[in-house]
Amino acid sequence: MGSSGSVRRNITPPGKYIGINQRIPITVLDRAVITFLKTGKLNRDDVLMDLSEHFTGENRRKKAYQIVSRMVTQTGSSGHCAKLLSPETYLDISEADKAAALLFLIVAAYPFCYEMLCIMSAGFKVQDRLNTRFVIEKMSDFYGGNRATENAIYALIPMMLEMGIIDRVKRSIYGSVIGKPVSNPLVAEMYVYTDILLSKSKSILVDDIAVRPWYFYRNPEGLNVGRLSLLKISESRIGGGYLSIDTGRR
């Protein structure tokens, strides 16, 4: 028998939350966000009605509603979203910006998605195409080689495809999409905030945004460091300054 270090873990390590095992149609999530921004809450019946267009089983619809609710209303990031974005702003931003705003909510609720996208970003930097097995093997190193890890990947990848974050070359093979700019300053800041929060970095250099894995998918070019709501900037000798989360505003 080989050493224990060479055996793939079959259980999720302590402290590693997965949580998602079912895809959420982005159109449903988008409508839920609009309702939340307008009213400060979700209408459960309306969300379930929207989900009925995609899922026939009542149990699947109820499970999907819980996922939508967690994404839209139950994290610190959802509170930030409600404070920063008016319904009118959300409806007016570009599709690239809207995808960045939705990612802000998705990965805050399920950090597994953030780690998956960063791993795929690293993979895309050395090869044009990645297959599902690559993603499963890399994520299993962190979350264990179990069915929960695979289910989460199979739930999230279709969502990333629907948002245009990645592209499907053919079944189970994915290609990169050229990173699009995020022009709205608030959404750009939300996108950077996500990276600092979930990477557990105390701060990042402004100039490092170009090379960090998270920005492979969206370039927060609209970020206005002179007018920040979630972040703060401090001086650095090189690199354009340090960005960190402004804990005094959280």
In a 3-state reduction of DSSP, which class is residue 219?
strand
Spatial distance between the Cα atoms of 224 and 229, rounded to a whole number of angstroms: 10
- Kindly write down the DSSP assignment for every residue of 22-49, as one continuous string: S---HHHHHHHHHHHHHHSS--HHHHHH
pLDDT 10s per residue in the chain (250 long)?
Answer: 333 343 445 555 555 889 999 999 999 999 999 999 999 999 999 999 999 999 999 999 999 999 999 999 999 999 999 999 999 999 999 999 999 999 999 999 999 999 999 999 999 999 999 999 999 999 999 998 889 999 999 999 999 999 999 999 999 999 999 889 999 999 999 999 999 999 999 999 999 998 999 999 999 999 999 999 999 999 888 778 999 999 876 5
Helix (H) / strand (E) element for 181: namely strand 180-181
Domains of the chain: residue spans and CATH: 112-176 (1.10.10.10), 180-249 (no CATH)
